[in-house]
Amino acid sequence: MTVIDANRMHEIEARYPEYFHRSFRQRFGGLMILVATLAYGLYAVWFFDLQKLLAEAHWERVGIYLSQWVSYDVQPDFRIQDDGSIEVRYPRFSPLGENPHPDWVINNPNGSITVSISGASRSVTVSKSETIVTAHGVSIPVELSSGAPKVVGPVPSWMTVYDDNVLADLGFAGDVSISVDRVKVRKRFIGWANFIFDTQSAFFDKPVGEVIGLIVSGPRIKPDQTNLSLALEDIWNNSEWQHGDVWTKLFQTIVMAFLGTLLGALAAFPLAFLAARNITPNRLLNQILKRFFDFLRSVDMLIWALFLTRAFGPGPLAGSGAIFLTETGTLGKLYSEGLENIDNKPREGITSTGAQTVLVHRYGIMPQIIPVIVSQTLYQWESNVRGATIIGAVGAGGIGLKLWEAMRTNANWENVAYMVILILIVVFLFDAASNALRHRLMGAKTH
């Protein structure tokens, strides 16, 4: 065991004062950062009144919207006529097509109609004088003979009585709205209805085997067109899912991102040489161009899109222009900073040989800056695929506008889910392609 005397100890302290005589910031800096972070968090909770927001939020809508992303509903309407008969009607654009006769709507011998909403556990039986709702292990009769529907017995928690109708909430399976002369049922199904063929298609509601047989070897449905081309045409022109329009708008979004990024890179590249202090020794020009880059990128892409849609009207041109202006500023700044950080020795060596300025830039600067340019440009291109979706919602065209239209109706959430999935797939593919290109061009291995 080595014993250190006092003189040796003082010598070590003098040699390494940063370890033995730490400042107040070094000793308590971490704790101060933690306390400041907690204080800021408490301030944010108070400023945004998070307790009130959480208490008043409509959390039940989250489940409703998510369920509508992965399901669809059918809404038969039962009208009680003056003679006691019951007329069944379906919405004009019902997923079941024209004149449907689903097996879950049963005509009883006594003239009543039973609707199986979720097997035998949840059903509705409609007659001229009453409606019986069966759910949660009980059957609740609702009389229809008086001026307003009347629940017989105690009202369960899943029923709500209004002045002129009774609403029975049957959970995800659906709901029932009952009035004296009308019973409206909403029955929910998992899946996306008519995703391949809509109700107007000749292939609608046919089994998969029959459709394949018609396409491969069946007789022509239309004499002047093969069944395969007819099937592809029906899929592309599906009136409910609008595959043709959605995919066209998605392609517009990709083109907007590519064109805007390409034009921005082409404009930023020469300007970056003029903005770099070590390339162009003109401080006034350097500062003017750098402030110009700051201005272009400080105005958000969404704001540029709003300006350009007012100038040129809604469409992909406004979107491409918004991306072009933003990327000119962003890439110009990135390129110029990359140029200012290059190693000047190769450039000085080539200059000493008497080479022209173009050759100095080509062989002394470009090999160093190309990896930065490629990497940043590809990253911005990938990012702009996402950004083009957002600016499309303000009228700049592309799938963003289509997505906003579907959301605004508050009824086509399955279409919203379809477009969101397409956007996610495109972003994933572009991210993978961008990473692969960056690694290949920069000489690194892809992991």
**Residue with structure tokens 């906003």?**
404
Residue 25 lies in a domain: no
Tell me what pLDDT residue 81 has.
87
In a domain, 335, yes or no: yes
Are 234 and 198 in contact by the 8 Å Cβ rule? The answer is yes
Using CA atoms, how far apart are residues 105 and 9, in angstroms rounded to an integer? Answer: 94
* 20 within domain boundaries: no
How far is 40 from 48, CA to CA, in rounded Å?
12
CA distances from 361 to 182, 266, 279, 370, 374 (A): 81, 17, 9, 12, 17
Q: What pLDDT shows up at residue 321?
A: 92
Q: Could you tell me if residue 11 is inside a domain?
A: no
Q: Please tell me whether residues 387 and 334 are part of one structural domain.
A: yes
Q: Using CA atoms in the order 166, 171, 173, 178, what is the torsion angle rounded to 10 degrees?
A: 0
**Looking at the structure, do residues 200 and 120 belong to the same domain, yes or no?**
no
7 occurs within a structural domain: no
Tokens encoding 445: 């291995």
CATH code at position 248 = 1.10.3720.10
Residues 351 and 312 occupy one common structural domain: yes
Which burial class, exposed, middle or buried, applies to 276 when counting CB atoms under 10 A from its CB (0-12, 13-18, 19+)? buried
Looking at residue 446, its pLDDT comes to: 42
* Total tally of structural domains belonging to the chain: 3
**293 and 423 part of one domain:** yes
- Residues 431, 324, single domain; the answer is yes
CA–CA separation, 245 vs 104, rounded Å?
34
Neighbouring CB atoms inside 10 A of 6's CB total: 7
**CA-to-CA dists, residue 272 to 83, 320, 430, angstroms:** 84, 21, 26
* DSSP annotation of 171: G
Q: Are residues 302 and 283 in the same domain?
A: yes
- Range 287-295 contact pairs with CB under 8 angstroms and sequence separation of 24 or more: 289/332, 289/336, 290/333, 290/336, 292/329, 292/332, 293/268, 293/328, 293/329, 293/330, 293/332, 293/333, 293/336, 294/329, 294/333, 295/329
How far is residue 309's CA from residue 315's CA, in Å, rounded to a whole number?
7
* pTM of the predicted model as reported, rounded to 2 decimal places: 0.79
Does residue 357 share a domain with residue 423? yes
DSSP per-residue letters across 235-270 = HHT-TTT-HHHHHHHHHHHHHHHHHHHHHHHHHHHH
Of 124, 155, 190, at which residue does a domain stop?
A: 190
pLDDT tens digit sequence for 76-104: 999 988 888 899 999 888 888 888 889 89
* pLDDT for position 241: 92
Q: Is residue 169 part of a domain?
A: yes
Q: Which residues are 74's β-sheet partners? A: 187
Distance CA 389, CA 285 (A): 36
Say yes or no: 399 and 419 in one domain. yes
Q: Which of 233, 258, 290 is the last residue of a domain?
A: 233
Same domain, 168 and 303: no
Shared domain check, 268 and 159: no
Residue whose entry in the numeric block shows the structure tokens 């892409």:
301
Strand segments, DSSP code E, in 241-341 are none
Q: Are residues 265 and 390 in the same domain?
A: yes
The pair of structure tokens assigned to 51 is 């307790």
Helix, strand, coil content of the chain in percent (nearest 5): 55, 15, 30
Residue 51 covered by a domain:
no
pLDDT tens digit sequence for 310-352: 888 888 888 899 999 999 999 999 999 888 888 777 777 877 8
Residues 217 and 262 in one domain: no
**Residue 38: inside a domain, yes or no?**
no
Listed as ranges, residues in the chain with pLDDT below 50 are 445-447
Q: Which domain holds residue 140?
A: 73-190
